[in-house]
Amino acid sequence: MTDVNVKILSELSAEARAALVQRSESDLSFFLEKVDPIIEAVRTEGDAALVRFGRELDRAEGLTAGNLKATEAEFDAAFDAVAPEVIEAIRFGINNIRTFHEEQAPEPMWLKEVRPGAFAGDRFTPINSVALYVPRGKGAFPSVTMMTSVPAVVAGVPNLSILTPPGPDGGVDAATLVAARLAGVDTVYKVGGAQAVAAVAFGTETVKKAQKIVGPGSPWVVAAKRRLGGIIDPGLPAGPSEVMILADDTVHGGLAAMDLLIEAEHGPDSSAWLVTPSRRVMEEALAALPDLWSKMTPSRVEFSQKVLAGPSGGIALAASMDDAIAFVNAYAPEHLEILSTKAFDYLGEITEAAEILLGTHTPVSIANFALGPNAVLPTSRGANTYGPLSVSDFVRRSSIGYVTAKGYPEMAQAAKTLAEYEGFSSHANAVSDLRKTYLPE
């Protein structure tokens, strides 16, 4: 059996315990250096650089400057290429995702009378242009298309585009095109990696410049977003997948092992931890893994075994449930499953997690594909300050103020007093008796 990384938390020093929360992209220095020439080439050469990198890095020999953008014919052909049951599953997921995000959407504007005659509020308007990144390096992800496209469409973004790496023939994954059309996005560019981020940051002959880019990606994509953060809004930090399974002694360890593998199979740069205070759960999980691996695709077995044997995954045995929860909060996972028959009892103690899935019938699989809440989530402890991708990520908020003649005197007096204290004479003059000189009687 493949060795699985097992840590006894009570035996670790503070430094060793802190090291467990590190992620694959915590140190991006290698990638930051490597993306610089890619970014510069795209900035100066445009489409020519995108085609060259597509062929060199994505092995897309069929990619040309003339087919960087998916055509209507390609969209139509995708519906013929994808099995009807897959199309229906995409449609099912999109309907739930749309229902969730329509409920989440803010009111276009609200105003509250904060004092008699003085009103303040917010107005929300869609961002003009947003690019949606859909990875493809270790598989095809129409689910990411669904999760990024639907809230953007609900928000009313007028200019949306999808960026996804091309296949060997220069084409786009068919299910991704199906998901894009069903979600309401009709612009798909065959560009991936750091070059995709650069393309929408600067614009090329084919790829339109965008104000923001959202969606998960490899460390190359994350590094490019950091480099170009002053030119394009990079959105929330969404890197390689990570999961934490918090299990108490009310569940079977085999169930915990099964769900642990969900995100571990994404790739060797993923992170996956089972944390439990129960030695029985730990031993049952270890015993179940060989059989679970035998039921997986060989390439995914290899990915998950590397994760669980490496520094970014395994099983952590806690001294108590409180100790386990403390580890979860320190880790701030992207996906958190609370496997317990009393999962709601622990919910109030979880403060640092982007997604919290409760009970034995809510695996990450359901959340990723069908439930409705967004599965594009902050990684690498981004849950400390970020939440899931939402409609709010696709709108801009403007504060609204309106003071009537009735409400003005009280507001003006308070403002004048503070303006004079801070030494701003023009601020004070604007709310002094001088104002009456320019107002109609």
Greatest distance between any 2 Cα atoms in the chain: 89
Alpha helices in 28-173 (DSSP H): 29-45, 47-57, 72-81, 84-104, 142-155
Q: Within its chain, how far is the Cα of 291 from the centroid?
A: 32
Distance CA 175, CA 79 (A): 8
Question: Of the residues 263, 334, 337, 355, which is catalytic?
Answer: 334
Distance CA 154, CA 278 (A): 44
- 51-90 b/e with 16+ CB inside 10 Å = b? bebbbebbebeebeeebbbbeeebbeebeeebeeeebebb
CA 151-388-199 angle, 5° bins: 65
By the 8 A CB rule, do 251 and 341 touch? Answer: yes
By the 8 A CB rule, do 69 and 206 touch? Answer: yes
Question: Of the residues 335, 337, 355, 427, which is catalytic?
Answer: 335
Amino acid present at 178: V
Residue 335 designated active-site:
yes
The per-residue DSSP string of 296-332 comes to: S-HHHHHHHHHHHHSTTEEEEE-SSHHHHHHHHHHH-
Distance CA 212, CA 291 (A): 44
By the 8 A CB rule, do 223 and 328 touch? Answer: no
Tokens standing for 18? 């802190």
Cβ-Cβ contacts under 8 Å for 220 (sequence gap 6 or more): 31, 34, 35, 193, 194
What residues are labeled active site? 334-335
